[in-house]
Chain A
Amino acid sequence: MDIVFAQPLKELLQVSTYFKEKLVVLVNNETQELMAKKASLIPCYLVSEDSKDINKLSSKKKAVVGGSIKANEFAVRIKADFLLQPANTKQFFDLGLAQKLADNGTRVVLMFEELLASNSFERHQVWKNFIEVARYCKLKKTKFIVASGCKDPLHLRPTKVREALAVTLGLSSDLAKKYLEEEMK
């Protein structure tokens, strides 16, 4: 399973088919949702605190972009399916949050594209914070995955690579593989 942003689907499908991978596409509106569904991809609504009509999305998959204490807590409150980038150059993730996310069955996601886009100084800070996030997730048995998180299909990363990244962050290889291969309900 990989998570990407909404983008031209033709190239995306070509690459994902080559990698034999199920893609979750982050969408903002119903048009994008329909397009993703047509291409047999899994749509997931990108929600923030400012979003209106969150109740309407109760039956749909939801993802929250973290990166602040408020956003992370919001993901817990609405029982989101994915919490994307809970930490960045600053750490906003702790054991308590990991426990709550584990109870809700929320997956914590490292968006690789953001790591790639950061400069070398920021990159080491993000990496350090995510080592901590992975450690907390391991302790509290919260699901943790590394996703491509790209807007360009050529930035899609194969499963083996993302699994290796999760292992390098501190997860065991069995867990990393299990979390990546787990199907969405």
Chain B
Amino acid sequence: MIIMKIVKVKKATVPLSKRERKRYILLEVLNAEVTEKDFYFGFWIELLGFFGSKGLAEIAPKIVLFKNNKAIVKCKRGKEVELIAGTAFITKIRNKKIIINPLLTSGTIKTLKEFAKIE
């Protein structure tokens, strides 16, 4: 009779120094009150229309936080300029005319939260 031994292997985590670098951008939505869900859809549709699937995958944007009409968006380092350029194409969310104003770019969320006074 063979006895199988189950060994639990600890999942290897990528060390901090070897992880891909990222940038956080603080965006402000002007002229209309927008919910998080609406912003999410408006944001993705316009960016996808301009960059296409491949381009958007390379930028890898992710909405980290949305509060008080301010959003923190994460993207790959070096692609933040492209992401800011892409936001120019977002003119409407749910038929409300809006302007997206990029306020600050940083390497940490903490700085952006302090700048925007978001808890």
Chain A to chain B: the 4 pairs with minimum beta-carbon distance, closest first: A164-B85, A164-B84, A168-B85, A154-B97
Q: Kindly provide the distance from the CB of A77 to the nearest chain B CB, expressed in whole angstroms.
A: 33
Is A161 touching B87 in the complex (CB atoms < 8 A)? yes
Chain A residues in 8 Å Cβ range of B31 = 154
Q: CB-defined interface of B92-112 with A at 8 Å, one 1/0 digit per residue? A: 000001111110000000000
The interface on chain A, measured as residues whose beta carbon lies within 8 A of the other chain's beta carbons, has a size of 21
Q: Are B102 and A161 in contact (CB under 8 A)?
A: yes
A62→B38 CA distance, assembly (Å): 42
> For A112, A120, A164, A173, which residue has the most chain B Cβ atoms within 10 angstroms?
A164
Question: Judging by beta carbons under 8 Å apart, are B88 and A156 in contact?
Answer: no
Residues of B within 8 A of A112 (CB): 88
User: Which residues on the A side are within 8 Å of B101 (C-beta)?
Assistant: 19, 158, 160-161
Query: Does the CB pair B49–A120 fall under 8 Å?
Result: yes
Partner of A168 from B49, B82, B91, B98 at Cβ < 8 Å: B82
* Contact A160 B82, CB 8 Å, known A112-B88, A154-B97: no
Contact in complex: B99, A15 (CB < 8 Å): yes
| Neighbour of A157 across the interface among B49, B81, B99, CB < 8 A | B99
Residue A162 lies at the interface, judged by CB distance under 8 Å to chain B = yes
Task: Decide if A116 touches B81 in the complex (CB within 8 Å).
Answer: no
- A128 part of interface (Cβ distance < 8 Å): no
Interface size on B, as a range, is 10 to 19
- Cβ of A167 within 8 Å of any chain B Cβ, yes or no, is yes
Contacts of B84 in A (CB 8 A): 160-161, 164
The answer to whether B99 and A167 touch across the interface, beta carbons within 8 angstroms, is no
Contact, CB under 8 Å: B81 / A158: no
Contacts of B99 in A (CB 8 A): 15, 154, 156-158
* A141 at the B interface (CB under 8 A): no
Bound together, the chains give a CA A15 to CA B87 distance in angstroms of: 17
Separation of A167 and B105 alpha carbons in the complex (Å): 16
Answer yes or no: A102 CB below 8 A from chain B CBs: no
Question: In the assembly, what is the distance between CA of A116 and CA of B97, in Å?
Answer: 14
- CB neighbours of A168 from chain B (8 A): 81-82, 85
Q: What chain B residues lie within 8 Å of A120 (beta carbons)? A: 49
Q: Judging by beta carbons under 8 Å apart, are B97 and A167 in contact?
A: no
Contact partners of A123 in chain B: CB under 8 A: 50
Interface centre among B50, B85, B88, B97 (most CB of A within 10 A): B88
Q: Does the CB pair A164–B81 fall under 8 Å?
A: yes
A173 with B102, Cβ < 8 A, contacts A154-B97, A157-B88 known:
no
Given the complex, which residues of B lie within 8 Å of A157, measured CB to CB? 88, 99
Q: Which of A1-49 contact B (CB under 8 A)?
A: 15, 18-19
Query: 1/0 contact trace for A99-129 toward B, CB 8 Å?
Result: 0000000000000100010001001000000
Interface centre among B31, B49, B91, B97 (most CB of A within 10 A): B91
Q: Which of B67-93 contact A (CB under 8 A)?
A: 81-82, 84-85, 87-89, 91
